[in-house]
Amino acid sequence: MQTLVDVGSLPPSRQKTAWSELVCERFIALDLSQLTLTGKDKIGGSSQGNLRLSRVTSGPQEVMRRADRVGDEAEPFLFVNLQTQGDCTVRQGAQGGQLSCGDAAVFVSHRPYKLAFPTAFEQMVLQLPLDSAIPYAGQIDNAVGHRINAQGSLASTMSALEMVLDENAAGAVEMTRSLLAIVFSRLPAITSAGIDITRERALKLIHEQSDDCELTPTTLAKRLSCSTRHLHLAFGGTGISAGEAIWCARLDRAAERLLAAKTLSLAQIAWDSGFASSAHLSRRFCARFGQPPTTWRKQFQQG
């Protein structure tokens, strides 16, 4: 493992700046606060392609992934953080917990999160593309921010990965698969609260992106980092499917534009609202509102 920064080797005037710059650039766009260095602060790193493993040793600090930083990266990442010394309070979204030595937590880069270290600590941080965890996509919503017991095989697999990552690409990939299998096998079962959170996030995203003609249940699940099965479970019992929710949002948006933009053509409204054509909009509109969009528009204009 290569030493990326050793604060003790730097002049005091450079220590905090060098530490902050590396922490915020080594992983993803982050922010630091309440930083207290110990003089023994170090970051070591190993990598293989887009797979990175770091060992971070430092003093009290808070590390934040703010909402305005989300989206800075070209692709989303999954993080597995293993606490090897000290304590850490973790939170992502509504989920959080307290990590002690031998505990782990999972985070995703496309949502805000916060790590708070009240005392000196050491963590191992595995960073990999979120697509690497596709087999566990249905569990990611339930995983983020939770404390995971890393004693035994999880901790030993992380340590073994650290030893082979720089030199054995095939071994590192296989070891990463094993590590993910262990992580997701130790999560609590998907709860109704987790299902509710997924549905709320799905509805928010549908409202924001319904104009995107590429938005389907499949792409929606991918943008939410969950499986299509998990997405369908989230809408189960609501009387409407994820696909129907998308079309309803598009029709609502088209209806608003029909009234607000009186001179806008039906073809333009269809395109702006996520429909393939004006004929496509008309078919959907008639099925929901009982009349063609042009008739509906004239009726309200006359009223």
- The Cα–Cα gap between 213 and 250 comes to 9
CB distance 122 to 55 below 8 Å:
yes
| Residue 46 CB neighbour total at 10 angstroms | 19
Q: pLDDT by residue for the chain (303 residues), tens digit each?
A: 788 889 989 998 899 988 988 888 766 788 889 999 998 999 988 888 888 899 999 999 999 988 887 766 667 889 999 999 999 999 987 778 899 998 899 988 888 899 999 999 999 999 988 888 877 766 777 778 888 877 777 778 888 888 888 777 777 888 888 888 888 777 765 555 667 778 888 999 999 999 999 999 999 988 887 778 778 888 876 778 899 999 989 998 898 888 887 788 999 999 999 999 999 999 999 888 888 998 888 877 665
The string of pLDDT tens digits covering residues 41-66 is: 999 888 888 888 999 999 999 999 88
Task: List, in order of start, the domains of the chain with CATH numbers.
Answer: 2-185 (2.60.120.10), 192-302 (1.10.10.60)
164: closest CA among 152, 154, 174? 174
- The Cα–Cα gap between 118 and 162 comes to 26
Look-up: residue for tokens 């609590």?
Answer: 188
CB distance 241 to 153 below 8 Å:
no
pLDDT of residue 120: 95
pLDDT of residue 192: 57
CB distance 53 to 46 below 8 Å:
yes
pLDDT of residue 56: 93
The side-by-side arrangement of strands in the sheet containing 2-6 is 2-6, 42-48, 51-58, 121-129, 77-85, 103-108, 148-149
- The Cα–Cα gap between 90 and 65 comes to 12
Q: Is 208 exposed, middle or buried (0-12, 13-18, 19+ CB in 10 A)?
A: exposed
- Amino acid letter, residue 103: D
The pTM of the full predicted model, rounded to 2 decimals, is: 0.63
pLDDT of residue 266: 92
The string of pLDDT tens digits covering residues 181-213 is: 888 777 765 555 667 778 888 999 999 999 999
pLDDT of residue 271: 93
279: closest CA among 259, 294, 257, 262? 294
pLDDT of residue 93: 79
Q: Which two structure tokens, joined as six digits, stand for 74?
A: 């070209």
Contacts 24+ apart (CB under 8 A), 94-97: 94/145, 94/197, 95/144, 95/145, 95/146, 96/145, 97/145, 97/146, 97/147
